[in-house]
Structure 1
Amino acid sequence: MQNDSDRFFVLTGGPGSGKTTLIEALRAEGFATAPEAGRGIIRDQTAIGGPALPWQDRALFAELMLSWELRSWHVARTEPGPVFFDRGAPDTIGYLRLCGLPVPDHVASAVRKFRYARRIFVAPPWPEIFTQDEERKQTLDEAERTFRSVTGVYAELGYELVPLPLAPVEERVRFVIAQAGLR
Protein backbone atom coordinates (compact mmCIF):
# COMPACT_ATOMS: atom_id res chain seq x y z
CA MET A 1 0.00 0.00 0.00
CA GLN A 2 1.50 3.25 -1.16
CA ASN A 3 0.23 5.71 1.44
CA ASP A 4 -1.83 5.81 4.60
CA SER A 5 -5.13 6.47 2.89
CA ASP A 6 -4.73 3.26 0.86
CA ARG A 7 -4.74 1.19 4.06
CA PHE A 8 -7.47 3.06 5.98
CA PHE A 9 -10.79 1.27 5.41
CA VAL A 10 -14.03 2.87 6.58
CA LEU A 11 -17.22 1.05 7.51
CA THR A 12 -20.19 3.42 7.49
CA GLY A 13 -23.97 3.36 7.31
CA GLY A 14 -26.89 4.01 9.57
CA PRO A 15 -27.07 3.11 13.24
CA GLY A 16 -27.92 -0.48 14.10
CA SER A 17 -26.70 -2.03 10.86
CA GLY A 18 -23.94 -4.20 12.31
CA LYS A 19 -20.89 -1.97 11.80
CA THR A 20 -19.50 -2.21 15.31
CA THR A 21 -20.02 -5.99 15.44
CA LEU A 22 -18.10 -6.26 12.17
CA ILE A 23 -15.30 -3.99 13.45
CA GLU A 24 -14.99 -6.16 16.57
CA ALA A 25 -14.81 -9.30 14.41
CA LEU A 26 -12.10 -7.72 12.24
CA ARG A 27 -10.15 -6.86 15.41
CA ALA A 28 -10.49 -10.50 16.50
CA GLU A 29 -8.95 -11.47 13.13
CA GLY A 30 -5.88 -9.41 14.06
CA PHE A 31 -6.59 -6.17 12.20
CA ALA A 32 -6.13 -2.75 13.76
CA THR A 33 -9.39 -0.85 14.26
CA ALA A 34 -10.60 2.61 15.24
CA PRO A 35 -13.76 2.84 17.37
CA GLU A 36 -16.88 4.81 16.52
CA ALA A 37 -16.81 8.42 17.72
CA GLY A 38 -20.51 8.81 18.49
CA ARG A 39 -20.86 6.16 21.18
CA GLY A 40 -17.60 7.15 22.85
CA ILE A 41 -18.59 10.81 22.96
CA ILE A 42 -22.05 9.99 24.31
CA ARG A 43 -20.55 7.82 27.05
CA ASP A 44 -17.99 10.46 28.02
CA GLN A 45 -20.37 13.41 27.90
CA THR A 46 -22.99 11.52 29.91
CA ALA A 47 -20.37 10.57 32.52
CA ILE A 48 -19.24 14.16 33.00
CA GLY A 49 -22.61 15.87 32.53
CA GLY A 50 -21.34 17.50 29.32
CA PRO A 51 -23.53 19.24 26.74
CA ALA A 52 -22.05 17.64 23.58
CA LEU A 53 -24.89 15.15 23.10
CA PRO A 54 -26.98 14.65 19.97
CA TRP A 55 -30.15 15.38 21.94
CA GLN A 56 -28.67 18.49 23.55
CA ASP A 57 -26.11 20.35 21.37
CA ARG A 58 -25.82 18.78 17.94
CA ALA A 59 -23.25 21.25 16.59
CA LEU A 60 -20.94 20.67 19.56
CA PHE A 61 -21.46 16.90 19.25
CA ALA A 62 -20.40 17.16 15.57
CA GLU A 63 -17.26 19.12 16.52
CA LEU A 64 -16.27 16.41 18.96
CA MET A 65 -17.00 13.73 16.35
CA LEU A 66 -14.68 15.45 13.89
CA SER A 67 -11.97 15.82 16.52
CA TRP A 68 -12.31 12.14 17.46
CA GLU A 69 -12.11 11.02 13.82
CA LEU A 70 -9.02 13.13 13.11
CA ARG A 71 -7.31 11.76 16.19
CA SER A 72 -8.22 8.21 15.10
CA TRP A 73 -6.75 8.95 11.67
CA HIS A 74 -3.46 10.13 13.22
CA VAL A 75 -3.30 7.19 15.64
CA ALA A 76 -3.89 4.82 12.70
CA ARG A 77 -0.76 6.19 11.02
CA THR A 78 1.27 4.53 13.78
CA GLU A 79 -0.15 1.11 12.86
CA PRO A 80 1.96 -0.89 10.40
CA GLY A 81 -0.84 -2.44 8.33
CA PRO A 82 -4.47 -1.97 7.37
CA VAL A 83 -6.80 -0.19 9.79
CA PHE A 84 -10.60 -0.49 9.84
CA PHE A 85 -12.53 2.58 11.01
CA ASP A 86 -16.02 2.46 12.53
CA ARG A 87 -17.05 5.55 10.55
CA GLY A 88 -14.77 8.32 9.28
CA ALA A 89 -14.53 12.11 9.18
CA PRO A 90 -17.04 12.43 6.28
CA ASP A 91 -19.71 10.96 8.58
CA THR A 92 -19.57 14.29 10.43
CA ILE A 93 -20.85 16.09 7.33
CA GLY A 94 -23.56 13.47 6.92
CA TYR A 95 -24.61 14.06 10.53
CA LEU A 96 -24.64 17.85 10.15
CA ARG A 97 -26.74 17.62 6.97
CA LEU A 98 -29.11 15.15 8.60
CA CYS A 99 -29.63 17.66 11.44
CA GLY A 100 -30.13 20.57 9.03
CA LEU A 101 -27.01 22.27 10.37
CA PRO A 102 -24.49 24.16 8.21
CA VAL A 103 -21.20 22.45 7.35
CA PRO A 104 -18.41 24.74 8.58
CA ASP A 105 -15.50 25.35 6.21
CA HIS A 106 -13.02 23.62 8.55
CA VAL A 107 -15.12 20.43 8.49
CA ALA A 108 -15.22 20.44 4.68
CA SER A 109 -11.47 21.07 4.63
CA ALA A 110 -10.83 18.17 7.03
CA VAL A 111 -12.67 15.61 4.91
CA ARG A 112 -10.74 16.70 1.82
CA LYS A 113 -7.39 16.51 3.63
CA PHE A 114 -7.79 13.37 5.75
CA ARG A 115 -8.63 10.68 3.22
CA TYR A 116 -9.31 6.97 3.47
CA ALA A 117 -9.06 4.06 1.03
CA ARG A 118 -11.10 4.63 -2.12
CA ARG A 119 -13.47 1.76 -1.31
CA ILE A 120 -15.84 2.51 1.57
CA PHE A 121 -17.79 -0.37 3.09
CA VAL A 122 -21.42 0.54 3.60
CA ALA A 123 -23.72 -1.29 6.02
CA PRO A 124 -27.25 -0.91 4.61
CA PRO A 125 -30.25 -0.60 6.90
CA TRP A 126 -31.09 -3.98 8.38
CA PRO A 127 -34.43 -3.87 10.22
CA GLU A 128 -34.06 -7.44 11.52
CA ILE A 129 -31.06 -6.54 13.68
CA PHE A 130 -31.84 -2.88 14.44
CA THR A 131 -32.23 -2.10 18.14
CA GLN A 132 -32.27 1.00 20.31
CA ASP A 133 -30.38 1.44 23.58
CA GLU A 134 -29.20 4.17 25.97
CA GLU A 135 -26.74 5.52 23.39
CA ARG A 136 -28.65 4.70 20.19
CA LYS A 137 -31.94 6.51 20.53
CA GLN A 138 -32.64 6.87 16.80
CA THR A 139 -35.66 5.22 15.25
CA LEU A 140 -35.32 2.89 12.27
CA ASP A 141 -36.53 5.75 10.06
CA GLU A 142 -33.77 8.01 11.41
CA ALA A 143 -31.25 5.21 10.88
CA GLU A 144 -32.33 4.92 7.23
CA ARG A 145 -32.07 8.70 6.76
CA THR A 146 -28.61 8.62 8.37
CA PHE A 147 -27.59 5.88 5.93
CA ARG A 148 -28.69 8.00 2.95
CA SER A 149 -27.00 11.11 4.32
CA VAL A 150 -23.59 9.60 5.09
CA THR A 151 -23.41 7.51 1.92
CA GLY A 152 -24.30 10.59 -0.11
CA VAL A 153 -21.35 12.46 1.39
CA TYR A 154 -18.88 9.67 0.64
CA ALA A 155 -20.17 9.42 -2.95
CA GLU A 156 -19.80 13.22 -3.39
CA LEU A 157 -16.21 12.95 -2.16
CA GLY A 158 -15.40 10.40 -4.87
CA TYR A 159 -15.32 7.25 -2.76
CA GLU A 160 -16.56 3.94 -4.18
CA LEU A 161 -19.40 2.60 -2.03
CA VAL A 162 -19.26 -1.17 -1.45
CA PRO A 163 -22.48 -2.42 0.16
CA LEU A 164 -22.04 -5.09 2.81
CA PRO A 165 -24.17 -8.20 2.46
CA LEU A 166 -27.01 -8.70 4.93
CA ALA A 167 -25.32 -11.81 6.25
CA PRO A 168 -23.79 -13.26 9.42
CA VAL A 169 -20.73 -11.43 10.71
CA GLU A 170 -18.34 -14.21 9.64
CA GLU A 171 -19.50 -13.85 6.04
CA ARG A 172 -19.20 -10.06 6.28
CA VAL A 173 -15.61 -10.42 7.56
CA ARG A 174 -14.67 -12.64 4.59
CA PHE A 175 -16.37 -10.20 2.20
CA VAL A 176 -14.55 -7.15 3.59
CA ILE A 177 -11.15 -8.84 3.62
CA ALA A 178 -11.62 -9.98 0.01
CA GLN A 179 -12.95 -6.63 -1.21
CA ALA A 180 -10.12 -4.77 0.56
CA GLY A 181 -7.58 -7.04 -1.19
CA LEU A 182 -6.15 -8.32 2.09
CA ARG A 183 -4.81 -11.82 2.72
Structure 2
Amino acid sequence: MITDRFYILTGGPGSGKTTLLTALEQAGFNTVAEVARAIIQEQVLTGGTALPWTNQQLYTEQMLHRSVQSYLAVKEQAKSSGESLFFFDRGIPDTLCHAVMTGQGISAAMDAIARAHLYNNTVFILPPWKEIYTTDEERKQNWKEAVLTYGQMKAIYTRYRYQVLDVPTGTPDLRKAFILAHTKG
Protein backbone atom coordinates (compact mmCIF):
# COMPACT_ATOMS: atom_id res chain seq x y z
CA MET A 1 0.00 0.00 0.00
CA ILE A 2 1.37 3.39 -1.00
CA THR A 3 0.45 5.11 2.26
CA ASP A 4 2.63 2.68 4.23
CA ARG A 5 5.47 4.90 2.96
CA PHE A 6 3.89 8.03 4.48
CA TYR A 7 5.51 8.82 7.83
CA ILE A 8 4.38 11.67 10.05
CA LEU A 9 6.70 13.76 12.20
CA THR A 10 4.64 15.63 14.77
CA GLY A 11 4.90 17.24 18.17
CA GLY A 12 4.37 20.54 19.85
CA PRO A 13 5.72 23.78 18.46
CA GLY A 14 9.46 24.38 18.65
CA SER A 15 10.47 20.75 19.12
CA GLY A 16 12.82 20.61 16.11
CA LYS A 17 10.52 19.09 13.47
CA THR A 18 11.53 21.46 10.67
CA THR A 19 15.23 21.00 11.39
CA LEU A 20 14.81 17.23 11.38
CA LEU A 21 12.82 17.30 8.15
CA THR A 22 15.53 19.42 6.56
CA ALA A 23 18.12 16.80 7.58
CA LEU A 24 15.97 14.06 6.02
CA GLU A 25 15.54 16.10 2.84
CA GLN A 26 19.28 16.73 2.62
CA ALA A 27 19.78 12.97 2.91
CA GLY A 28 17.64 12.53 -0.22
CA PHE A 29 14.26 11.72 1.30
CA ASN A 30 10.94 13.23 0.21
CA THR A 31 9.55 15.69 2.73
CA VAL A 32 6.15 17.37 2.85
CA ALA A 33 5.94 20.85 4.35
CA GLU A 34 3.57 21.78 7.15
CA VAL A 35 0.42 23.46 5.82
CA ALA A 36 -0.41 25.40 9.00
CA ARG A 37 2.61 27.69 8.79
CA ALA A 38 1.99 28.31 5.08
CA ILE A 39 -1.62 29.28 5.79
CA ILE A 40 -0.53 31.73 8.48
CA GLN A 41 2.07 33.30 6.18
CA GLU A 42 -0.44 33.62 3.31
CA GLN A 43 -3.17 35.05 5.53
CA VAL A 44 -0.84 37.64 7.06
CA LEU A 45 0.44 38.63 3.61
CA THR A 46 -3.06 39.01 2.14
CA GLY A 47 -4.78 40.46 5.21
CA GLY A 48 -6.89 37.32 5.58
CA THR A 49 -8.65 36.23 8.75
CA ALA A 50 -7.99 32.46 8.69
CA LEU A 51 -5.49 32.85 11.53
CA PRO A 52 -5.34 31.01 14.85
CA TRP A 53 -5.50 34.30 16.75
CA THR A 54 -8.32 35.80 14.61
CA ASN A 55 -10.73 33.10 13.42
CA GLN A 56 -10.04 29.63 14.85
CA GLN A 57 -12.83 27.91 12.95
CA LEU A 58 -11.82 29.27 9.54
CA TYR A 59 -8.16 28.52 10.28
CA THR A 60 -9.05 24.92 11.24
CA GLU A 61 -11.15 24.49 8.09
CA GLN A 62 -8.24 25.76 5.99
CA MET A 63 -5.78 23.45 7.75
CA LEU A 64 -7.97 20.42 7.16
CA HIS A 65 -8.66 21.28 3.53
CA ARG A 66 -5.01 21.99 2.75
CA SER A 67 -3.82 18.90 4.65
CA VAL A 68 -6.10 16.71 2.54
CA GLN A 69 -4.96 18.45 -0.66
CA SER A 70 -1.33 17.90 0.32
CA TYR A 71 -1.98 14.26 1.20
CA LEU A 72 -3.71 13.56 -2.13
CA ALA A 73 -0.96 15.31 -4.11
CA VAL A 74 1.71 13.24 -2.37
CA LYS A 75 -0.31 10.08 -2.91
CA GLU A 76 -0.37 10.81 -6.64
CA GLN A 77 3.38 11.53 -6.61
CA ALA A 78 4.04 8.32 -4.67
CA LYS A 79 2.36 6.21 -7.35
CA SER A 80 5.18 7.04 -9.74
CA SER A 81 8.09 7.11 -7.31
CA GLY A 82 8.56 3.43 -6.61
CA GLU A 83 9.62 2.64 -3.08
CA SER A 84 10.37 6.19 -1.89
CA LEU A 85 9.51 7.21 1.66
CA PHE A 86 7.66 10.45 2.37
CA PHE A 87 8.04 12.34 5.64
CA PHE A 88 5.19 14.73 6.50
CA ASP A 89 5.66 17.76 8.76
CA ARG A 90 2.43 17.00 10.62
CA GLY A 91 -0.53 15.01 9.36
CA ILE A 92 -4.29 15.32 9.11
CA PRO A 93 -4.78 14.22 12.77
CA ASP A 94 -2.79 17.31 13.82
CA THR A 95 -5.71 19.42 12.59
CA LEU A 96 -8.06 17.37 14.76
CA CYS A 97 -5.78 17.98 17.72
CA HIS A 98 -5.90 21.71 17.01
CA ALA A 99 -9.71 21.55 16.89
CA VAL A 100 -9.81 19.81 20.28
CA MET A 101 -7.32 22.21 21.86
CA THR A 102 -9.28 25.26 20.69
CA GLY A 103 -12.62 23.94 21.95
CA GLN A 104 -14.08 23.19 18.52
CA GLY A 105 -14.08 19.43 18.96
CA ILE A 106 -13.90 16.81 16.23
CA SER A 107 -16.93 16.75 13.95
CA ALA A 108 -18.15 13.56 12.30
CA ALA A 109 -16.85 14.90 8.97
CA MET A 110 -13.39 15.57 10.42
CA ASP A 111 -13.32 12.10 11.97
CA ALA A 112 -14.27 10.51 8.65
CA ILE A 113 -11.54 12.44 6.82
CA ALA A 114 -8.89 11.32 9.32
CA ARG A 115 -10.01 7.71 9.03
CA ALA A 116 -10.08 7.82 5.20
CA HIS A 117 -6.60 9.35 4.76
CA LEU A 118 -4.18 7.00 6.46
CA TYR A 119 -0.43 7.17 6.96
CA ASN A 120 2.08 4.58 8.07
CA ASN A 121 1.01 3.20 11.44
CA THR A 122 4.25 4.47 13.02
CA VAL A 123 4.12 8.17 13.88
CA PHE A 124 7.20 9.98 15.15
CA ILE A 125 6.56 12.58 17.84
CA LEU A 126 9.17 15.06 18.95
CA PRO A 127 8.81 15.85 22.66
CA PRO A 128 9.11 19.37 24.04
CA TRP A 129 12.74 20.44 24.28
CA LYS A 130 13.17 23.59 26.32
CA GLU A 131 16.77 24.20 25.25
CA ILE A 132 15.76 24.77 21.62
CA TYR A 133 12.25 26.20 22.09
CA THR A 134 11.64 29.66 20.64
CA THR A 135 8.67 31.63 19.38
CA ASP A 136 8.43 33.57 16.11
CA GLU A 137 5.88 35.42 13.97
CA GLU A 138 3.88 32.25 13.25
CA ARG A 139 4.65 30.31 16.45
CA LYS A 140 3.18 32.30 19.30
CA GLN A 141 2.54 29.48 21.80
CA ASN A 142 4.38 29.68 25.10
CA TRP A 143 6.34 26.80 26.64
CA LYS A 144 3.37 25.58 28.70
CA GLU A 145 1.22 25.42 25.56
CA ALA A 146 3.98 23.54 23.72
CA VAL A 147 4.02 20.88 26.45
CA LEU A 148 0.22 20.65 26.43
CA THR A 149 0.22 20.32 22.62
CA TYR A 150 2.66 17.41 22.82
CA GLY A 151 0.36 15.53 25.20
CA GLN A 152 -2.71 16.24 23.12
CA MET A 153 -0.94 15.14 19.91
CA LYS A 154 -0.01 11.85 21.52
CA ALA A 155 -3.59 11.32 22.65
CA ILE A 156 -5.10 12.09 19.24
CA TYR A 157 -2.73 9.85 17.32
CA THR A 158 -3.29 7.05 19.82
CA ARG A 159 -7.05 7.54 19.48
CA TYR A 160 -6.67 6.94 15.73
CA ARG A 161 -4.67 3.78 16.47
CA TYR A 162 -1.26 4.97 15.39
CA GLN A 163 1.83 3.70 17.17
CA VAL A 164 3.46 6.88 18.51
CA LEU A 165 7.24 6.79 18.96
CA ASP A 166 9.03 9.51 20.90
CA VAL A 167 12.05 10.78 18.99
CA PRO A 168 14.90 11.34 21.45
CA THR A 169 16.42 14.79 21.77
CA GLY A 170 19.84 15.21 20.20
CA THR A 171 21.51 16.35 17.03
CA PRO A 172 19.54 16.25 13.79
CA ASP A 173 21.75 13.35 12.63
CA LEU A 174 20.99 11.30 15.76
CA ARG A 175 17.28 12.00 15.40
CA LYS A 176 17.40 11.13 11.71
CA ALA A 177 19.15 7.84 12.48
CA PHE A 178 16.46 6.99 15.05
CA ILE A 179 13.71 7.59 12.50
CA LEU A 180 15.41 5.65 9.73
CA ALA A 181 15.96 2.72 12.10
CA HIS A 182 12.17 2.59 12.60
CA THR A 183 11.01 2.91 8.99
CA LYS A 184 10.38 0.35 6.29
CA GLY A 185 12.01 0.98 2.96
- Give the TM-score taking structure 2 as reference length: 0.95
Tell me which residue corresponds to 1:17: 15
Q: Distance in 2 between matches of 1:60 and 1:30?
A: 35
- Three-state SS of the structure 2 residue aligned to 1:144 is helix
Q: Distance in 1 between matches of 2:152 and 2:109?
A: 19
State the AA in 1 paired with 2:58: L
CA RMSD of superposed structures (Å): 0.9
C-alpha deviation, 1:102, in angstroms: 2.5
Q: Distance in 2 between matches of 1:106 and 1:65?
A: 14
C-alpha deviation, 1:166, in angstroms: 0.6
Tell me which residue corresponds to 2:65: 67
Q: May I ask how many residue pairs the two structures share in their alignment?
A: 180
Q: Distance in 1 between matches of 2:141 and 2:111?
A: 25
CA contact (8 A) 2:10 2:125 kept: yes
Tell me which residue corresponds to 2:106: 103
Residue deviations 1:121-159, cap 9 Å, x none? Answer: 000010110000111000011111111111111001110
CA contact (8 A) 2:33 2:89 kept: yes
> Map of 1:20-35 to 2, 5 A cutoff?
20-35=18-33
- Three-state SS of the structure 2 residue aligned to 1:60 is helix
Does residue 122 (structure 1) correspond to residue 125 (structure 2)? The answer is: yes
Q: Which moves more between the two structures, 97-106 or 53-62? A: 97-106
- Three-state SS of the structure 1 residue aligned to 2:87 is strand
Residue deviations 1:52-101, cap 9 Å, x none? Answer: 00000111111111112111111211132110000000001100111111
Tell me which residue corresponds to 1:155: 158
State the AA in 1 paired with 2:158: A
CA contact (8 A) 1:93 1:150 kept: no
In structure 2, list runs of 5 or more residues that go unmatched: none
CA contact (8 A) 2:5 2:184 kept: no
Tell me which residue corresponds to 1:45: 43
Q: Distance in 2 between matches of 1:105 and 1:45?
A: 27
In structure 1, list runs of 5 or more residues that go unmatched: none
Q: Distance in 2 between matches of 1:31 and 1:140?
A: 31
Percent of aligned pairs with the same amino acid: 38
- Three-state SS of the structure 1 residue aligned to 2:175 is helix
C-alpha deviation, 1:37, in angstroms: 1.3
Tell me which residue corresponds to 2:86: 83
Q: Distance in 2 between matches of 1:46 and 1:18?
A: 24
- Give the TM-score taking structure 1 as reference length: 0.96
C-alpha deviation, 1:17, in angstroms: 0.2
